[in-house]
Every structure is written in C-alpha cells, then in structure tokens.
Amino acid sequence: MSLDAETSAAPAAPIRRRRPYLYELDLIRSTTFALVIFTHVLAATTDQWGSHGVNATNLLFHATRNIFFALTGFVLMYQNLDRDDFSAVDFWRRRIKLVIVPYAIWSAIYWMVIGMWSNGRGGQIPTSLGEFWGQLSWGTAAFHLYFLFVMLQVYLLFPLLRLLVAKTRGHHGLVLAGSLLLQVGVVCAISYWEAPAAWGPWSRAYATFIPYQLFIVAGAIAADHREQLAAMVRGRGRWLAVALVGTGALAIGSYFHRVLDNGAPTNDPNSAFEPTVLPFVMVAVVSIYAMGLHWSTHYREGSPRLATAVSYAANRSFPVFLVHVMVMFWILRATTDSGQPVILAHVPQPFGTIVVYLLVVAGSLAVTEILRRLPGSLYLTGRPRLPLRFMI
C-alpha cells in the first residue's frame, strides 16, 4: 500500500475552526460589570434599608445579573456548539479551574478580612473553619460571590445545555416557551410561596442557577440564531427604548404598590424576583445586546480609542468584579464618631456616591493590574499573567 493510500484511509482529525470575534460582547460585558459595581456602591453609600428611591433604582439594576447569565450562555454556546471535538471532561478541565480556584481564594480572603478580622474575630479564624466551609458551600463569604457559585453550576450543566440546543434545532421556540413558563413559576414561588421549614435551602435559591435558567437558555439559543436575532433588533432602538421604559415603569410601580399599599419591606431581598420585574429584565437583555451590536457595527472602527478602552475593560471585568467589594470596604472603612464613612461626611450626596464609585472603579483596576502581573495570576484573577514591563 502506498503512502498516499495510507494517508487517505486514515480518519481525518476534527478541525477546530476559530470563530469570528464578536466585538459587541466586549461592550456588553464591560457595561454590565460597570452597572454591577454601581449597584453595590449605591447600596453601600445610601440608606438601602429605608429609601424607596434607592431600592426602586437597584430593583432595575439587578437586571445586570440576568444579562450576564444570558451573555454566559451565549458565549459558551457560540464557542462550543458546532465543535466536533467537544468533550465535557475537557470543557470542565479548561473552564472550571478559571472560576473555582479564584472563587475559593477570594472567599477565604473576604471571610478572613471582612467577616472575621473587621468584626474583631481575627483570632478565631483557625477554630472557625466550619463557618467558612458553610459560606463557601453557598457563595456567601461576601455578598457578591454567589454569582461565581452560580457560574460554577452553569459550567457543570453546560454539556447538557449544549446537547439540548443541538437536539432541539427546529424547535427552539418551544424550548424557550417552556423555559419562560418555568421561569414564571420559579419567580412566583420565590416571591409568594412560604416554603416548609424542611426546605431551608429554598431561601438561598438566588445562589442556584434555577432563578436564572431562562436567561442562560435564551442566551444559548440566541448564539445559534445570532444572525436572525441581529436582523430582528437592528433599526428597532426606539421600540426597545419604549419597551424598556414601559416595563421599567411596571416594575417600579408594582414595587411602590407592595411597599406603600401592602406594607411590604422597603428593602425586600426577593423583590428582584417579582413576576412584574421579569418583563423589564427580558427587555433589558435584548436592549443591551442591540446596543452592543449597533456599536460594533457603526462606531467601533471609527472610534479606535473607545474600542481599545472597551476591550481593556472587558478583559479586566472578571478580576475587577472579584476585588471591587474589598476596595469599597477599605474606601468606606474610615468613619466619623457617628459611624458615617468619612468620605460621605465631606462630600454631599449624590456626589458622594459618584466619587466613591469612581474611586472603587479606579482602585479595582489598579489592584487588578498588580494581580495580573503576579505569579499565580490565573488563580487570583482567572486571567493569564501579564508581563511586568507595563509596571516599570
């Protein structure tokens, strides 16, 4: 047998084609994380327990978590749906370590610094590891770390989601309808169902993928229909703006009805899962995708500096998310005799919130630049180490 015959008889190795880079996702990612940080700063610098205005505002900004879960489903499916060489084990090996190690490290840091040391319990750290394990098990070592805990669940379930999307091609409308129906049931249960005492973990449903499944599934299906989706949203900015305002008014109006007429708590932690908020969140997801698509199509090439800034912010968004609560903690730690943060005592509102926000963003970026250049950057930030020459 000739060499040519042997070569032709050998099975062809699967070819992994690099997919085109979607620049609109950079704008979506950087915008979403910027809004997440603002939401946290607003809550920390105002009366989040007694202010109707603050809670109504944060109610809408909580849509950012769903936007990012939709983005996650979109990105994972775009990268992996048509790969002939896809392997669940290889996917988990590559992806999970980029989240689980930073999650464990930063959970320990937040627990030791904010949870223990700042409360005068630093000496109890060696004997309180059971407490830390409980927080690590639910993503509660810091108030924002549940997000990474949910991300881990998404990664674990992604091979099943990929299989679902691949096997139901031609019927994705039915899949979305079923997911929407399930989502309505879930948010109604979170908002109105009094779970039995034996269902204690139900109070932590926010730290599971369940309340976000619609957006994860929708993002994954959108990746398989991105051209049709782009055609649907192009030229419809005004309609989306009207829908955003209308559904936002519904969400805020229902919030004030619950608080003022029904005596609900001003700061109800489950208010973000109210059924009347769901339409706004759905429109917000589509709107920010349309914004990113419009920018990448019409403005990115004509604004190279802005494009560079957006790319930079998107690349740093994950480590900035990891560190921003710690940066905010130190900025607000110095207080007056009355317990008010010093910076807020000297800068009147609303400028105090704006100044703190800018300081948190700048400080988080600075810390990120340092961490990205340390050995072990991959495990501290979920991103590869950068060369030191930038710092010189």
Return the amino acid letter for 350. Answer: P
Residue 10: pLDDT over 50: no
Cis before residue 269, ω within 30 degrees of 0? no
Euclidean distance between CA atoms 369 and 374, whole angstroms: 9
Tokens at 336, concatenated: 């007056």
**Under 8 Å between Cβ of 226 and 78:** yes
**Under 8 Å between Cβ of 285 and 67:** yes
Which pLDDT score is estimated for 16?
Answer: 53
- Axis crossing angle, helix 304-331 with helix 351-371, rounded to the nearest 10: 100
Residue 26: pLDDT over 60: yes
Over residues 191-205, mean pLDDT: 77
Euclidean distance between CA atoms 111 and 133, whole angstroms: 10
**Under 8 Å between Cβ of 372 and 383:** yes
Cα angle, residue 33 at apex, residues 52 and 133 outer, rounded to 5°: 85
In the block, residue with structure tokens 């050998």:
10
Render pLDDT for 268-295 as a digit per residue (tens, 0 to 9).
777 889 999 999 999 999 999 999 999 9
DSSP state string for 226-262: HHHHHHHHTT-HHHHHHHHHHHHHHHHHHHHIIIIIT
Which pLDDT score is estimated for 389?
Answer: 66
Residue 138: pLDDT over 80: yes
Residue 224: pLDDT over 70: yes
Over residues 349-367, mean pLDDT: 96
Euclidean distance between CA atoms 272 and 62, whole angstroms: 6
pLDDT category at 17 given cuts 50, 70, 90 is low
pLDDT category at 200 given cuts 50, 70, 90 is low
Return the amino acid letter for 266. Answer: T
Cα angle, residue 263 at apex, residues 261 and 268 outer, rounded to 5°: 115
Render pLDDT for 48-85 as a digit per residue (tens, 0 to 9).
878 888 888 999 999 999 999 999 999 999 999 988 89
Tokens at 28, concatenated: 């979506």
* Closest-CA residue to 56 (of 370, 284, 266, 200): 266
**Cα dihedral 331, 334, 336, 337 in deg (nearest 10):** 150
pLDDT category at 8 given cuts 50, 70, 90 is very low
